Amino acid sequence: MSPKILSVDDSKAVRKLLARMFRPFDCELCEAANGEEGLAVAAREMPDLIILDYNMPVMDGISMLRRLRENADLRRTPVIMLTAESSAENIATVARLGVRDYVTKPFNEELLLAKAGRAVPLVAHLTHNGRPNPRSGRSGDTLGAVSSEETDSATELAARTPAPSASALQSASVLVVDDSSTMRMSLIKALNELGFDNIKEAKNGRQALELVRKEIFDLMLLDMEMPEMNGMEVLIALKNDPQLGGLPVIVISGADQIENAVRCIEAGAEDYLPKPFNPTLLRARATSSIEKKRLRDLDRVRLTQLQSEKDKTEAANRLVTEQNQILGNLSTKLSKYLSPQIFQSIFKGEQNVEISSKRKKLTICFTDIAGFTETTDNLESEELTNVLNHYLTEMSVIALQHGATIDKFIGDAMLLFFGDPQSKGVAEDAKACVVMAIAMQRRMRELEQEWRSRGLLRPFRIRMGITTGFCTVGNFGSRDRMDYTIIGNEVNLAARLQSATEPGSILLSHETNALVQGLVMTEEQPPITVKGFPKPISGYKIVGTFDDLIKEGRVVLEERDGLHVLVDLTKQDSSDVIEILEGILTRLKLPRGKGKRAPRAGQRTPQG
């Protein structure tokens, strides 16, 4: 997209002149006759460059400039002042308002084009014969544009930066480069009179480059025609050196060398000063160049600071990421010492890590490997560890699949419970626990073959005791070391039930048995005397789930409203069952009111 240039000048002739000057280039020109009109056109057209007069009726250039800088959309638009006002004070004022360049009237058209070309890309149109327009003198390429970032940052910084004092500007170090000693003396004298004290000289380009590589300068006044190394060669060397590229250079050229001066500006010179030089022009251009360098230096410092802040932030972020990773790894490791439900509830903030507890009705499961020591006697410790860990891992997976909270591993034993921190209700928790226990026993039978192949001559058989009742659940221990666990008689009862049952079986307490009726068929066991319990305890051994037993043909179960028929074919001969059922049928055919018989004590109890 071609750049848009707004010229704001009360002189129609100047506006027309600018239009004629920019016509050979691929750009769009709009105009305004005063500051107020300029603001309106700028707001409408959003120009890429404004060429602005100083003295105008209605609203002058400086007022328009101030208003531009207050406008969020236009404050970054580069501005070149084109004015008959050329005092150093005016230049400093507009430089603080972020003016990109300052051209005094009467002005050299090529010079203004070169400066405009540094603010926006100006591409010359080709003429009808395909040659570049002779007015531009270039082969369709751009007139030395600078990046918008450079303009933006300098403009923004200028708007924020307080004006430098005259003494600060004049204490700047200046290098005068000219092969003519008379010219050098003349320039140094003029600079001295303007208040510049810190001046060095070089008689050719090579000497100048040696000096700028050794010392820091704020400005170079550079002659064009010199022996050994001319002004253009110096400029190219400076611009190719990242350390020296920011040094402003004012080219000193004869009035007949304006084409050269334009080329120098395109090559990166800040400005030019015609010979014989006018002290006012020297002061204005030197002041302006030094001021712009100061702003660029500030910009660079600010950028360095920003980069440093960015580096620090990135370093801090890296550190935080690393720490988070370390913490993540640690928490992953620590989580293995906790039941996942406990870990999750702590990390989600649902559970305070403090010593506290509550009474809650839970279903507790205690498992242990029967004869573990004897079973594993023939195993090396490493193999024993592997087998034991394998067993515990397999059981843990099943436990977690069914929603158990793994309280602890006690050697080869496990204490698990249902109902905290999550609970589906006492009955559902009890059923989940029983289903888990059955799944564990089934998995143990599957693992038997595998363990045999690893040298375990007698397969592991586990005993499981399950009970339901009130426990105290919570954090127990000290402030520095605590365990989330359960305590109470029910825990002891689960352990006793476990030890009272046969290997490979599951024994339920009375209450758990009551809660899982309809799910599993159990067999009441002779009461057991348990330490800590005054009365003998009834235990119910799980035969299997009704679903499994029916599928296996071991049970016949028919249930209707008011009818419950359960036939355990492992205990009853089918012909006996038929005989009994026929007897029942006969009785059912009798008139109403005669006949049902209660089941005899000691027989298996149908659950449900």
Partner 1 sequence: MIAEPPIPELGSVTASALAEVLATQFKLSVIASAPDEETNSKPMEQCHVGSVKLTGGLFSGDVQLQLPEAFVAKLTTVMLGANAASVAEEDAADITGELCNMLAGRIAATLAAAGYFSTLSIPTVARGRRLKFENDPGAKKYRSNWTCEGHLLKVASQFSFRSR
**Residue in 55, 65, 57, 64 with CA at minimum distance from that of residue 94:** 65
**Lateral strand order in the sheet of 199-202:** 199-202, 174-177, 219-223, 249-254, 271-275
- Contact range with partner 1 by CB under 8 A, out of 100-108, 414-422, 458-466, 579-587: 100-108
Contact 412, 379 (CB under 8 A): no
Instruction: Tell me the C-alpha distance between 297 and 157, whole Å.
Output: 10
Q: Is 17 in the site for partner 1 (CB under 8 A)?
A: yes
Looking at the Cβ atoms of 59 and 514, the one nearer to partner 1 is: 59
- The CB-of-86 to partner 1 minimum distance in angstroms stands at 4
Instruction: Tell me the C-alpha distance between 599 and 605, whole Å.
Output: 9
**Three-class SS state of 58:** coil
Within 67-86, which residues bind partner 1 (CB under 8 A)? 83-86
Q: Which helix (H) or strand (E) is 579 found in, with range?
A: helix 574-589
Q: Work out which of 59, 63, 74, 108 binds partner 1, going by CB under 8 A.
A: 108
- Contact range with partner 1 by CB under 8 A, out of 101-109, 151-159, 314-322, 579-587: 101-109
Cβ atoms within 10 A of the Cβ of 129, count? Answer: 5
Sketch the per residue contact string, 240 through 279, with partner 1: x for CB under 8 A, - otherwise.
Answer: --------------------------------------xx
End-to-end CA distance of the chain: 86
- The CB-of-276 to partner 1 minimum distance in angstroms stands at 11
Looking at the Cβ atoms of 85 and 407, the one nearer to partner 1 is: 85
Q: Work out which of 20, 131, 213, 452 binds partner 1, going by CB under 8 A.
A: 20
Looking at the Cβ atoms of 283 and 541, the one nearer to partner 1 is: 283
Q: Is 59 in the site for partner 1 (CB under 8 A)?
A: no
Q: Is 101 in the site for partner 1 (CB under 8 A)?
A: no
Instruction: Tell me the C-alpha distance between 372 and 111, whole Å.
Output: 99
Contact 73, 42 (CB under 8 A): no
- Contact range with partner 1 by CB under 8 A, out of 52-60, 66-74, 295-303, 556-564: 52-60
Q: Is 95 in the site for partner 1 (CB under 8 A)?
A: no
Contact 541, 507 (CB under 8 A): yes
**CB environment 22-60: b (16+ within 10 A), e (fewer):** bebbbbebbbbbbbbbbbebbeeeebbbbbbbbebeebb
Within 284-323, which residues bind partner 1 (CB under 8 A)? 284
- The CB-of-260 to partner 1 minimum distance in angstroms stands at 16
Q: Is 57 in the site for partner 1 (CB under 8 A)?
A: yes
- The CB-of-281 to partner 1 minimum distance in angstroms stands at 7
Cβ atoms within 10 A of the Cβ of 109, count? Answer: 14
- The CB-of-160 to partner 1 minimum distance in angstroms stands at 26
**Three-class SS state of 333:** helix
- Contact range with partner 1 by CB under 8 A, out of 8-16, 368-376, 552-560, 595-603: 8-16
Q: Is 281 in the site for partner 1 (CB under 8 A)?
A: yes
Q: Work out which of 105, 125, 443, 554 binds partner 1, going by CB under 8 A.
A: 105
Looking at the Cβ atoms of 199 and 284, the one nearer to partner 1 is: 284
Tokens representing 220 are 């170079």
Site for partner 1, rule CB under 8 A: 10-14, 16-17, 20, 55-57, 83-89, 104-108, 278-281, 283-284
